Chain A
């Protein structure tokens, strides 16, 4: 663990505690009461899903331009962490939706497009897992990573394009946010805290990806016995041929 990791870990811990304190001390919603506090985890999770798939796009484009492995590691690691946060946002949305809407799941455009987003990136990860050759894996997944990002703005704008149960954007919108300013402050603290958690996860996953690549390179290194090398001439025949040659020369 490097010094940066130690500082980052400590800062993340402090930010998470601050986020928790802000979420608990913020006033409850007038209509939803305490339930609304789920927002302080649900919204950061959704924001991190956007951010991580954005980083996958950046890593994919950068790999296509530079062919450097680190960009591929960034794209892949970010997609993996993004799938986790998308799943978390969906799960928390369902838990929030049950008491408020009366159902765990409804055919709302935001929910459906977010679920589609999850499956797009599960497909991305499946494609990576299925491709053995590292360069080919990087290229194919980079191209798919660029195409798959189209779904992210569709998710964000779905609440504006279609009639939706889900509330429209309250913070990422033109003009003044339509949220109480104390709640907004608590939300911002939690977004920062979760972004720090995301950074820790991403760094850990990228390091793991680098170690995996090094391990794969080491196990495929030249000098290891390959299938063909198992086929050798029988010792008795070699000895007989050597004897015959010696006799001829003698």
Chain B
């Protein structure tokens, strides 16, 4: 006799499925991450390979690459996004909210890994001074969760739409400005011995709003798909 599966269990199972898919394809960490590293390498050639200048602008470049390439990662097409698998999941009674949350959690994990992979590259290339680095322990997950929630929302809104790969970033990037501002200003605040909390609160609020929007619209978007 079958039993009803709780929402938490559904989320756990779907996160496991998405991470397993990523392990198999390596799209996020074996394709997007190296692409991001190449961007970090090329950016100094555009502004001049002056070491003091790069030390100053390096953290900003890092967050810009995380934002732009992280968006690519969040709006990528997953095997689970197709109409067939979606219909199957709906038939199996998987809650659309659980699906959306699973997408956010899986993408947040991948984004965190993406940020951790790129961080040593940025440190090696730019040799930045990061006075308030312990705050990064909060900034990294906040950026990951906020970007993952916005990406899940944009991915759901543009599911099945032709040109989704370019439309998704256009929808996400303007809304992700608070995350970029917060991430860069936390380091600036530490440089001038100012409290980083206002920026952390801004990022947390932006992430929370994105998460709420993703969860609240999940059922309506599932119906549309």
Question: Using a CB–CB distance below 8 Å, which chain A residues touch chain B?
Answer: 64, 112, 116-117, 119-120, 122-123, 126-127, 130-132, 135-136, 139-140, 143-144, 147-148, 150-151
CB contact under 8 A between A140 and B163, given known A116-B177, A130-B158, A150-B209: no
Do the beta carbons of A143 and B157 come within 8 Å of each other?
yes
B210's nearest neighbour on chain A, judged by CB, is A147
Q: 7 tightest CB-CB pairs across the interface, nearest first?
A: A119-B174, A139-B224, A123-B171, A123-B170, A130-B161, A143-B217, A120-B174
Q: How far is the CA of A108 from the CA of B221 in the complex (A)?
A: 36
Residues of B within 8 A of A140 (CB): 157-158, 221, 224
Give Cα distance in the complex from A75 to B162, angstroms: 22
User: A64 CA to B173 CA in the complex, in Å?
Assistant: 25
Within 8 A of A (CB), among B172-225: 173-175, 177, 209, 213, 217, 220-221, 223-225
Chain B residues closer than 8 Å to A123, beta-carbon distance: 167, 170-171, 174
B170 proximity list for chain A (CB < 8 A): 119, 122-123, 126
Count, chain B residues at interface, CB 8 A: 22
In the bound complex, residues from chain B placing their C-beta under 8 Å from that of A120 are: 174-175
User: How far in angstroms is the closest Cβ of chain A from B178?
Assistant: 9
Complex Cα gap A160–B209 (Å): 21
Whether B104 sits at the interface, judged by CB under 8 Å, is no
Instruction: Flag if A127 contacts B157 (CB, 8 Å).
Output: yes
Q: Is B108 an interface residue (CB 8 A)?
A: no
Closest residue of chain B to A139 (Cβ to Cβ) is: B224
Report yes or no: A135 in contact with B177, Cβ–Cβ below 8 A: no
Closest to B157 in A: A140
Q: How far is A143 from B161 in the complex, measured between Cα atoms in Å?
A: 15
- Measured in the bound complex, the distance between the Cα atoms of B158 and A132 in whole Å is 11
Greatest chain B CB density within 10 A among A112, A116, A132, A147 is at A147
Main secondary structure of the interface of A (DSSP, over half): helix
In the bound assembly, the distance between CA atoms of A143 and B171 in angstroms comes to 12
* 5 additional contacts (CB under 8 A) given A119-B173, A135-B224: A112-B177, A119-B174, A123-B171, A127-B157, A139-B223
Task: Looking at the assembled complex, report how far the CB atom of A189 sits from the nearest CB atom of chain B, in whole angstroms.
Answer: 34
Those of B137-180 within 8 Å (CB) of chain A: 153, 157-158, 161-164, 167, 170-171, 173-175, 177
Instruction: Kindly state the separation between the CA atoms of A131 and B159 in the bound complex, as whole angstroms.
Output: 9
- Which of B167, B177, B220, B224 is within 8 Å of A127, CB to CB? B167
Q: Are A126 and B167 in contact (CB-based, < 8 A)? A: yes
CB distance from A19 to the nearest CB of B (A): 32
| Least Cβ–Cβ distance between A15 and chain B, in angstroms | 34
The residue in A126, A140, A144 that gathers the most chain B C-beta atoms within 10 A of its C-beta is: A140
A139 to B171, CA, bound (A): 16
Q: In the complex, which residues of chain B have a beta carbon less than 8 angstroms from the beta carbon of A131?
A: 161
Give Cα A126–Cα B170 distance, bound, in whole angstroms. 9
> A64, A116, A127: which contacts B171 (Cβ < 8 A)?
A127
The smallest C-beta distance from A231 to any residue of chain B, in angstroms, reads 25
| Nearest opposing residue in chain A for B178, CB measure | A154
CA distance A148 to B213 in the complex (A): 10
How far is the CB of A207 from the nearest CB of chain B, in Å?
A: 26
Across the two chains, which residue of chain B brings its CB closest to A130? B161
Q: Is the CB of A64 within 8 A of B220?
A: yes
A148: chain B residues within 8 A (beta carbon): 175
The answer to whether residues A116 and B161 also contact, given A135-B224, A139-B221, A139-B224 and a CB cut-off of 8 A, is no
* Nearest CB of chain B from residue A76's CB, rounded to whole Å: 15
Q: Which residues of B contact A116 (CB under 8 A)?
A: 174, 177
The reply to whether A144 and B174 contact each other, CB–CB distance below 8 Å, is no
Chain B's closest residue to A120 (CB) is: B174
Closest CB in chain A relative to B9 CB, distance in Å: 27
